[in-house]
Amino acid sequence: MIVLVFGIRVRTRATSTSHGMDFTIIKKDSATGARLGRLVTAHGVVETPAFMPVGTQGSVKAMSPRDLEEIGCQLVLANTYHLYLRPGVEVIRDLGGLHRFMGWTRPILTDSGGYQVFSLGALRKITEEGVHFQSHLDGSSHLLSPEKVAQIQEDLGSDIAMVLDECIPHPASREYTRLSTERTVRWAERSLKAHTRSDQALFGIIQGGMYQDLRFECVREMIPFPFDGFAVGGLGVGEEEETLNAIGAFTAGLLPEERPRYLMGVGRPEDLILAVRRGYDLFDCVLPSRNARRGTLFSSKGKISIKRAEFSRDSRPIDESCDCYCCRHFSRAYLRHLYLAGEILAAQLHTLHNLCFYHQLMEKLRIAIREDRAGVEPTIDF
């Protein structure tokens, strides 16, 4: 099969992906790059564009699986690095896999650990073999290689696995970025070879830092591989907003049309709208859940900080246009009280609302694409 990358004909090494995941583009927006898609996984269908709440340690913080189902969550992200260290992948495998362990019946994507290892700083060392690191929990020494990360994700039984990559810090020199990205490509090929489960999709990850030509090179190297989808990593790591948008847009434009595109770790509602217009299909970010626990709540009228005195007697819900359980039953005054009193229920209700806001935003985006208005809708007030 021949695909075009910026007009350059590239021969792919396989004619199709082979992991049982099916991705169909149902509709393309005529004014933007936005696409409405349908991703069929071993645990069900995901309508894209879709947002994945982050369940780092096998739990989306303060949410039960039924809470997530209620707000329309289609898939969640869990983290290979964290689950490998605790409770250990053998435990989860022997108990029937991550879905059964978490009590979550819908699709799961597992991150490879590249981002977490990047966050470890001095505790890790990267070699061609893989990442040597010390556990943030007990200091024990570990090696995560592309093969091992693939094996762990197969044992976890996620629907979508990610290749091991290096998430390059920002700023990084051109030379370091080039060498790292080349290694990420080699790791990707090793990941593919190690991957055996036919009921699990495998996504490649595009790195290349803030250098457009290195992003281009990375894409050119990666798209011949029969990955079921491609993620764009290494963004949202401290770079300027303009750079994030420019690199994100540039890289999306290089990726093959027919496979899903996942923009990792990004971000704010306005970032998601822009990214959908660039043609991204999948997103994850801790922002809505972390903000929730810190009392920063999203609404159609903008963000609010629930601890502000102005809400102390405010009988309105967080968002009058939201129909989540939190907004149907609780006032800003009560939520402020719970937050200031340190009540766990504040984290529960706030997270439920913020994630509902994100899922409603994605639903609005899907509707806008269906109606060919993705260039102008949805609008948010910030």
φ, ψ dihedrals at 232, nearest 5°: -110, 115
For the stretch 171-196, what's the b/e string if a residue is b when 16 or more beta carbons lie within 10 angstroms of its beta carbon? ebeeeebbebbbbbbebbbbbbebbe
- Give the one residue of 28, 38, 61, 294 binding a copy of itself; rule: CB under 8 A: 61
- Give the one residue of 329, 371, 377, 382 binding a copy of itself; rule: CB under 8 A: 329
Taking residue 319's Cβ as centre, other Cβ atoms within 10 Å add up to 22
Taking alpha carbons only, the member of 324, 222, 225, 260 closest to residue 52 is 260
Catalytic residue from among 67, 111, 155, 281: 111
Q: Tell me, yes or no, if 284 is annotated catalytic.
A: yes
Residue 203: DSSP 8-state: E
Q: Does 309 bind a copy of itself (CB under 8 A)?
A: no
Closest separation in Å from C-beta 308 to a copy of itself: 14
Closest separation in Å from C-beta 18 to a copy of itself: 32
Q: Tell me, yes or no, if 372 is annotated catalytic.
A: no
Closest separation in Å from C-beta 371 to a copy of itself: 35
- Footprint (CB under 8 A) of a copy of itself, residues 141-200: none
Q: Does 65 bind a copy of itself (CB under 8 A)?
A: yes
Residue nearer to a copy of itself on the CB measure, 94 or 258: 94
Q: Dihedral, CA atoms, 123, 111, 197, 72, nearest 10 degrees? A: 160
Q: Does 62 bind a copy of itself (CB under 8 A)?
A: yes
79, 152 in Cβ contact below 8 A? no
318, 353 in Cβ contact below 8 A? yes
Residue nearer to a copy of itself on the CB measure, 125 or 313: 313
Closest separation in Å from C-beta 81 to a copy of itself: 13
Taking alpha carbons only, the member of 89, 105, 95, 77 closest to residue 263 is 77
Q: Does 58 bind a copy of itself (CB under 8 A)?
A: yes
Q: Does 64 bind a copy of itself (CB under 8 A)?
A: yes
Taking residue 100's Cβ as centre, other Cβ atoms within 10 Å add up to 12
Q: Dihedral, CA atoms, 312, 316, 317, 322, nearest 10 degrees? A: -150
Residue nearer to a copy of itself on the CB measure, 102 or 365: 102
Is the four-CA dihedral 122, 294, 263, 105 of positive or negative sign? positive
Residues 6+ apart with CB under 8 A from 45: 38, 39, 74
- Give the one residue of 1, 4, 91, 143 binding a copy of itself; rule: CB under 8 A: 91
Q: Which stretch binds a copy of itself (CB under 8 A): 9-17, 168-176, 251-259, 322-330?
A: 322-330
What does the binding site for a copy of itself look like in residue numbers (CB under 8 A)?
57-59, 61-66, 86-87, 91, 94-96, 101-103, 312-313, 315, 325, 329-331, 333-334, 336-338, 340-341, 343-345, 347-349
User: Which residues are marked as active site?
Assistant: 111, 284
